[in-house]
Amino acid sequence: MPLQLMSSTAGKRKEIYKYLAPWPLYSMNWSVRPDKRFRLALGSFIEEYNNKVQIISLDEDTSEFSAKSTFDHPYPTTKIMWIPDSKGIYPDLLATSGDYLRVWRAGEPDTRLECVLNNNKNSDFCAPLTSFDWNEVDPNLVGTSSIDTTCTIWGLETGQPHGRTHVAGHVKTQLIAHDKEVYDIAFSRAGGGRDMFASVGADGSVRMFDLRHLEHSTIIYEDPTHTALLRLAWNKQDPNYLATVAMDSCEVIILDVRVPCTPVARLSNHRACVNGIAWAPHSSCHICTAGDDHQALIWDIQQMPRAIEDPILAYTAAEGEVNQIQWGATQPDWIAICYNKACEILRV
């Protein structure tokens, strides 16, 4: 049986901190900066044009989350990411995807829009973005995925560190990545961590690309029933492994790029569809999954290719389906989840 994560009141520090937002939440991301330890950005999920993004921070003395900045966003954000700047040398930026890619400069209380990156300059038609990834090795690179079958790699000019200069962006390359909608994109740490990325989409395939050789791609995996693949996540420590999840599926598929097209493991304890996957930032053999069964599960996969029967830790969010999970890159002891209007951080 997996360990149950319990709320400890005996210890000096709590194990669970909860924040209730004014609206249902979907997207969420941990801040990476060393001077902003318990800071997250949250995106509302309201089925209309007017949505919100909120930056919250935990006061470690009072053990309470509070909103530091709230700003308007058109449509719900499909993803939010802070700039992967663990040293704090770039401006304090975050990006959001929705109808377009937007880059914001965080402030308290005023967060301001730095730029809107739109690849369809000559058209009234907008192809919404399903996801994006911000390159950790080169924070001037951002890749987006769209329902128009393409991925776009953007170059950002973030100006002088800490300066008041404006952030701008330009298209480095745009490519047709799939036969149908692209649902997720993620840079790999392989080969220097700058040039390789993978994408998943409605055609049911995982494809890998190299910015240095865009004339061809590698199919890593194809769903046997051509079910759409919604999410993609690379192992943070071992770039040979990645995880993906199919639409309405209760299982997470672990792939090894050295053995294409054959899953090396299937994590199948969820009792309803999986909504999120997050690899541990500090360990190559731990991954967290979350789903509509109200559960967040942590798995130890070091027994692969032997079958992984059970998670090592389980947490149940009694009140709702867990629709988002993030494992803090600079906070490896903490996992964040969203359900309904709640964001919780859980000590693991």
- 8 — pLDDT class (breaks 50, 70, 90): very low
112, pLDDT greater than 60: yes
- 165 — pLDDT class (breaks 50, 70, 90): low
Residue-wise burial string across 271-285, b where 16 or more C-beta atoms lie within 10 A, e elsewhere: eebbbbbbbbbebbb
305, pLDDT greater than 90: no
- Predicted model pTM: 0.92
Tens digits of per-residue pLDDT, 253-299? 999 999 999 999 999 989 999 999 999 999 999 999 999 999 999 99
- 10 — pLDDT class (breaks 50, 70, 90): very low
Tens digits of per-residue pLDDT, 231-257? 999 999 999 999 999 999 999 999 999
- 11 — pLDDT class (breaks 50, 70, 90): very low
- 6 — pLDDT class (breaks 50, 70, 90): very low
3-state SS of 293-331 is CCEEEEEECCCCCCCCCCCCEEEECCCCCCCEEEECCCC
Distance CA 3, CA 6 (A): 9
State the Cα angle at 83 between 200 and 234, rounded to 5°. Answer: 30
129 or 61, greater pLDDT: 129
Tens digits of per-residue pLDDT, 14-23? 799 999 999 9
321, pLDDT greater than 80: yes
